Amino acid sequence: MSKERIKISEALYDIMPTDYQDLVKSATYGKEDRGWKDIGTAKELIEQHSLCAGCPESMAFRYIMASLPNPEDTVMVGSTGCTSLVFPMVAVHNIHSLFGNQNAIASGLKRALSVRFPGRIKDVVVLAGDGATVDIGLDMTLQSWFRQEKFTTICFDNELYANTGGQESGLMQKGFVAKMAPVGKQFEKVRLPEIARESGCHYVVQCTVSKPSLVEKVVKNAVYVAREIGPTYLQLYTPCILEIGKNSMEGLQEMRDSEKPTERFAYKEFVSEPAKQLLAEIAAKEKERKAAAKQLTGQAQA
């Protein structure tokens, strides 16, 4: 799809919802250097959400939607949980089918798009919570990586089952007392980033979403590598402030505290050799493009 596809018949313009009019007027489909800085000046691809006030997941959602390099040809796959409350408000095609089967859905979807649109870019991005990714869906998460399916998996790690009310999950810290972990969780937080690397992911990052510029960078890298090389995985800390006893305004600080070098969400990155090469090529091209743009601006001023 290109932005030209999103048009409204003049006869119907005034009865279309305002947010759809805004999508047509000022969304960033097709904008080459779209990113988090568009937030506030362009129409976002996520409309108002129904998450809790101050939920870091809502920040993550906005940064990701602003950072997808090719939203006009991106299809997203979700799972059941808090994310499934947001997806209906997202202006790219997105699929919710069952709980935990998101990487299986994405495998079939990516292959169908490859068969139907040979030679065209069609990105697939999975976005699901930690219960869906690591517990009920772990088999399908890993198998899609073993098969080298070419799509990005993003896990919103809030270290518990938030939507059902704060039960223990595999990504929960050891010792944390929660519903279904009445005497504290008995085993360590599952090390999925390491497992992702060993399972064949070519680009793996664990971080928090405290810095939008970082989220933009890792989302773009993950999508580019998945498009050209193979599976990629992002594990983003999006604490459930409600379930860890924080107030609405404390989410950001919670993430900053947890990303310190000695903490469990210290930045972690694995990049395969082919992915390193690809990202270097992309960075070189980007540098060239910026230099050319600067030169053009200079000429215009001169």
Partner 1 sequence: MAETKSLIGTQNKKGQTYTDPWYMLNEAPRTPSFFTGSEVIKEAIRRASCDIMIAYPITPQSEAAALIGELFAEGYVGDYFRGESEFAVMSQCAGASFGGARVFTTTAGPGTMRAMENFPMWAGARLPIQMIVTCRGINSPLSIQPDTLEISYLLNTGMMVWHAETAQDFFDWILKGFIVAEEPDVHLPLALCCDGFFVTHTKDVVQLTPADMCLPPYDPYRSPVPCMDMECPPVRMMRDPFVMKSNYISYATHASWQQEVWAAVERSRKHAIHWLNGLIDAENTDADIMIVASGTAVSQGREAIRMLEDEGVRCGLVKIKTLRPWPTDEIREATKHAKHIFVPEFNVTGWLAKEIRATIPDHHRVYAGPHVCGGMTMPPEIIVSEIKTALGMKTFSLAGRGS
In the complex with partner 1, the residue whose CB is nearer, 68 or 205, is 68
In the complex with partner 1, the residue whose CB is nearer, 13 or 267, is 13
Which pair of tokens denotes residue 1? 């799809």
Least distance from C-beta 44 to partner 1, angstroms? 11
Least distance from C-beta 102 to partner 1, angstroms? 8
- Strands in 203-208's sheet, in edge-to-edge order, are 94-95, 74-77, 123-129, 152-157, 232-237, 203-208, 268-271
Least distance from C-beta 71 to partner 1, angstroms? 8
* 3 state DSSP class of 204: strand
In the complex with partner 1, the residue whose CB is nearer, 115 or 300, is 115
In the complex with partner 1, the residue whose CB is nearer, 85 or 252, is 85
Residues found near partner 1 in the complex (CB under 8 A): 1, 5-6, 17, 19-20, 47, 50, 72-75, 77, 80, 84-98, 101, 104-117, 122, 139-140, 143, 147, 163
Least distance from C-beta 107 to partner 1, angstroms? 5
* 3 state DSSP class of 210: coil
- Strands (DSSP E) contained in the chain are 74-77, 94-95, 123-129, 152-157, 203-208, 232-237, 268-271
Output the CA torsion sign for 62, 63, 69, 75. Answer: negative
Least distance from C-beta 173 to partner 1, angstroms? 27
In the complex with partner 1, the residue whose CB is nearer, 84 or 258, is 84
* 3 state DSSP class of 63: helix
